[in-house]
Amino acid sequence: ASTSRASLKRAAASDGHENNERTPKRLRVEKEFVQYEESGPAGHPFDGNIVADPDYFLDSGVAWAIKWEFTRLSARREIKVTPELLANLQGSHTRVAASLRRIVNPPNLDGASSSKSMHPWHARELAVTAPWEELDREDKAWEEGNDEGIGLKAKDGWYGGKVQFSTTLTWDKSRRQFEMQLNAPTLGKSTHFGRAFHSHSCITVRIAKDALKHPDLKVYLKQRHRFFGRDFYVLDASTEKVTLVDSKARRPRHNPATERPEEAQGIRWMLNYLNPMDQNMTQSVSKWRARFQLYFSDTVPGFRLPYDRLEEQDDIELPHGPGKCPAEKVLTDGCGRISAEALKSIQVNLKLERPMSAVQIRFYGAKGMALSMLPPGYEDPLPKDVVLRPSQIKIQHDQRYRYDEAKLTIDIVRPAKVSVPARLSAETIQILSHNGVPTSVFLDLQKK
């Protein structure tokens, strides 16, 4: 998080200032990071922020999301937690959630509910965004250890990461402290991080204006935040919102042998897996931090590519002076290539009616557009299935994870589509004209 009180997001530094030197700012960030992750070592009292971690849930057999919802619903009234109540909270999310409001608000002596009845329209609206069946499916995939959550493995096309957990951070003036209020989990769009590590491994914190202006906000956010026995750290920050992640989250098929001894503490392994600092030293600190947002875009899994079918080609650039080529002279800025076969697989997996000529992707630390390659016979040698440009690659990954299935999954942001009627922009006309479309064609279109 930035030191700014008005915003948690710094403006990204210009690419022209990026270099390999360990600047004073980078050295300070590295020192603060070590202090940040090593706070509260094992064997010492927990010195972070305990948001929600009641003792009665320890070894209770209650699902993590049910603990969340029970705590949220019971925040406004005192409830005596008994062994019988805990037994009623055990079981699948779907079964327990159906009776959770009755458990928290039991009927009065006259048989009437102590809570107001819900209007049928409101009940149907809540049912559409209810996350409980989805969480049961995710938990089942994790228990079976087949990594179905990352997508493209289940016969019915299912993938995980669709449930959003969020809190609201406020400043309690009377108690003179920050307060995190749990919000109801909802069913929404999927993200790469959610698919790779389970929906409940990511929490969005929305910051109210009173908390955003408080001078101690940065100190508060830099702590560990405990939710029901699991420690969460801030991984990404933007205006009025931060993202917390579970530092110990792992996929079922994760191999512990790939972890180094120094990665056992804090959030170091997660950082090295997602965006290792030592592999991305050419970036400014602000840009390195901003790259984590790639993992939290709304995407769907489209196609999984073998590592040996990926290649990199130089950008096509106009003549320029010494040093880095200006972005306006990079003709292929943010635009790679993809084979027709891969596009066909994406079309089938996404159940699209028509074939695509381009697709917006997130893939292996890269982002941007991928255009369809020419049919076989037009190029020799034939490129591999995906060609990435240097202008697309935002994260250089650790080679320990070059065969990681989640990283080798092409995440689709948006497929290309044709909308009619449409207008040709000046840029599009210039491109078409440069590639041989006669001027008379544009004049005829203008007359129509």
pLDDT for res 103: 86
Q: Are 186 and 167 in contact (CB under 8 A)?
A: no
Tens digit of each residue's pLDDT, the chain (448 residues): 333 333 344 344 444 444 455 666 666 666 665 555 555 434 335 678 999 999 999 999 999 999 999 999 999 788 899 999 999 999 999 999 999 988 887 765 444 444 556 666 666 666 778 999 999 999 999 999 999 999 999 999 999 999 999 999 999 999 999 999 999 999 999 999 999 999 999 999 999 999 999 999 999 999 999 999 999 999 998 878 999 999 999 999 999 999 999 998 889 999 999 999 999 999 899 999 999 999 999 999 999 999 999 999 999 999 999 998 998 899 999 999 999 999 999 999 999 998 999 999 999 999 999 999 988 788 888 899 999 999 999 999 999 999 999 999 999 998 887 777 888 888 889 889 988 999 999 999 988 8
pLDDT for res 46: 61
Which ranges of 23-119 would DSSP assign to H, the alpha helix?
A: 24-37, 64-73, 83-88, 93-104
The helix or strand, by DSSP H or E, that contains position 289, with its residue range, turns out to be helix 285-290
Written as six digits, the tokens of 232 are 């969460």
Among residues 209, 207, 220, which one has the least CA distance to residue 166?
207
| CA 369/CA 338 separation, integer angstroms | 9
Written as six digits, the tokens of 85 are 């109540």
| CA 58/CA 37 separation, integer angstroms | 24
Q: Which 8-state DSSP code applies to residue 375?
A: P
pLDDT for res 203: 98
Q: Are 251 and 147 in contact (CB under 8 A)?
A: yes
pLDDT for res 109: 41
Q: Are 315 and 333 in contact (CB under 8 A)?
A: yes
Among residues 127, 162, 135, which one has the least CA distance to residue 67?
135
pLDDT for res 16: 41
Which ranges of 148-255 would DSSP assign to H, the alpha helix?
A: 192-197, 209-212, 217-221
Written as six digits, the tokens of 325 are 């080529």
Among residues 99, 97, 220, 238, which one has the least CA distance to residue 170?
220
Q: Which 8-state DSSP code applies to residue 326?
A: P
Q: Are 183 and 72 in contact (CB under 8 A)?
A: yes
pLDDT for res 38: 53
Q: What does the buried/exposed string (b/e) look like for 390-406 if buried means 16 or more CB atoms within 10 Å of the residue's CB?
A: ebbbbbbbeeebeebbb
pLDDT for res 119: 65
pLDDT for res 404: 96
| CA 147/CA 348 separation, integer angstroms | 21
Q: Are 335 and 288 in contact (CB under 8 A)?
A: no
